[in-house]
Structure 1
Amino acid sequence: MQKRPRVVVNVEASADGKVALTRNALLMHRPSSELWASMTPQSPDSVAIDVMESVRQRYGCNAVLEGSGSLVSEDEIPARLPTYDGDPVGLYEHFLPVDVIEQRSPLHMWFTVVDSRGRVRWTERHENWDALVLVARSTPADYLGYLRRERICYLVVGEERVDLSRAVAAMGTELGVTCILSNAGGGLNGALLRADLIDELHLKLAPALVGGLGTPSVMDGSPLAVGEFPTRLQLLSAQSDAAGAVRLHYAVRRESGAERP
């Protein structure tokens, strides 16, 4: 049986564990991106590293993962799509067109987004990257029709919402993905945590405090059940620099006491 892809989470947070300035301020947009960058002063001994390149070299990582909330704020109303007027039944099967799959280069990466509500509008293309959307059977047919017209691959993995365990497994079996790097926010990272899918965590802490009730944190989502144990970690490395930033690298400790190979 093929092992599921390794899942590595990469997070930059404030010292109090916040991964955004406010709930609806996307870090990909100004002025939030500039404010966030200013929290970590330049340092000659900076702990910054290229985590994606590191996991590509070590594990052959060929997919990154984001939640739709990293690309579209919750209060944003996406552009309306044309109504799909065909038979929608065939839409709810994986869409992996051969002309897209077979043109992958050795440097190819999948930019994977969880978007069961069909909120992301795809306006950019980048060399050696292809979009992959994780959807569910509840995803609007209009959106799936739009993805097919745009030749954007998608996997149908879930009923009312995306089932992350099924999604990760399908990325391995359908696309040959060996390692997934999650650069997502707290909601999706928290869902990966609850699904017991995280194998490693790279955490960089900026020397700043954000605060704010409800501001996204490193791991959000559903709370632990009463009496349930937290996920235990094994520290692999720890670094700090003169500016006060700290980088921590952990492996998840499974109940058996052995980390995933």
Structure 2
Amino acid sequence: MLLSAAVSLDGRLDGTGPRRLLLSGPEDLDRVDEVRAGADAILVGAGTLRRDNPRLLIRSAARRAARVARGLPPHPLRITVTASGDLDPSLHLWHEGGDRLVFTVDAVADQLSRRLAGLADVVGTGPSLDWDRVLDECGDRGVRRLMVEGGGLVHTQFMSRDLADELHLAVAPVLVGEAGAPAFLAPAPYPGADRASRMRLLGTARVGDVVLLRYAPKERT
């Protein structure tokens, strides 16, 4: 499982204004497109869908064709998670690309399934969002390579549960400087937060005007 995010120098995913703060440059956006093309599924939280209205598609026609040549659909499965069920059927995600999957709590699953009928499969995971159930269901659907693109609350859930195999951080030469701006990670009981362990640096690269940092969150045995 890969966690991917673009962050400012002060660790923010976005500003507080009404328009999205674009941290990645064209070179890094192309890199992300390449990583997406190698994934079986892309997961984002409902907050990211509501704020950014992303399509989560493979932009490159050559990469889409290469996926099809390998017997894969042109675009990965797109997944979101929501506890509230507050998802607008007019969002771009539901109307472009291939299959879509939504995980939610049982209390709103039926209502959300009716709202998104014909647009996405909706799966209830119990009285709360059960991340083990989410991952089990993804595995049952053939997802072996999951790319998690945010937002901060979702990244926090995966990191605090020690579920990530790799972390990609594209650090942009930008200072947001706003106290209310969304952070990459929220305070949580992270594994190794007592400094008993360190992440392992897998590599660094300059991508346009951003620096890509690749980490393994823990040693794999």
Check whether TM > 0.5. Answer: yes
For 2:55, the equivalent position in structure 1 comes to: none
CA shift at 1:165, angstroms?
A: 2.1
Structure 1 pair 157/230, CA: closer, same or farther in 2 (3 Å)? Answer: farther
Runs of 4+, deviation exceeding 4 Å: 39-42, 46-49, 227-231
For 1:139, the equivalent position in structure 2 comes to: 108
1:63 aligns with 2:38: no
User: What's the Cα RMSD here?
Assistant: 2.9
Native 8 Å contact 1:116 1:138 kept in 2: no
For 1:181, the equivalent position in structure 2 comes to: 147
Structure 1: gaps (5+ residues): 1-6, 26-30, 74-103
> Which residue identity does 1:135 align to in structure 2?
T
CA shift at 1:106, angstroms?
A: 3.5
For 2:74, the equivalent position in structure 1 comes to: 107
Q: Which moved more, 1:201-210 or 1:212-221?
A: 212-221
For 2:216, the equivalent position in structure 1 comes to: 251
Structure 2: gaps (5+ residues): 52-70
1:156 aligns with 2:156: no
Structure 1 CA distance, aligned partners of 2:86 and 2:75? 25
Deviation string, structure 1 residues 118-148 (Cα, Å, up to 9, x no partner): 1112334223x2211011213253223223x
Structure 1 pair 199/55, CA: closer, same or farther in 2 (3 Å)? Answer: farther
Question: What's the % identity of the aligned pairs?
Answer: 25
**Superposed counterparts of 1:171-250, under 5 Å:** 171-173=138-140, 175-220=141-186, 222-224=188-190, 228=194, 232-240=198-206, 243=209, 245-250=210-215
> Which residue identity does 1:251 align to in structure 2?
A
CA shift at 1:252, angstroms?
A: 1.9
Which secondary structure does the structure 2 equivalent of 1:51 belong to?
helix
Structure 1 pair 182/48, CA: closer, same or farther in 2 (3 Å)? Answer: same
Native 8 Å contact 1:190 1:220 kept in 2: yes
CA shift at 1:117, angstroms?
A: 1.1
| Structure number with bigger Rg | 1
Q: TM-score, normalised by structure 1?
A: 0.66
CA shift at 1:183, angstroms?
A: 0.9
**Superposed counterparts of 1:91-102, under 5 Å:** none
Deviation string, structure 1 residues 152-190 (Cα, Å, up to 9, x no partner): 21222232x2111220121102x1111111111111100
Native 8 Å contact 2:79 2:102 kept in 1: yes
Name which of 13, 17, 31 aligns with 2:11.
17
User: Hey, which of these two has a bigger chunk of helix by percent?
Assistant: 2
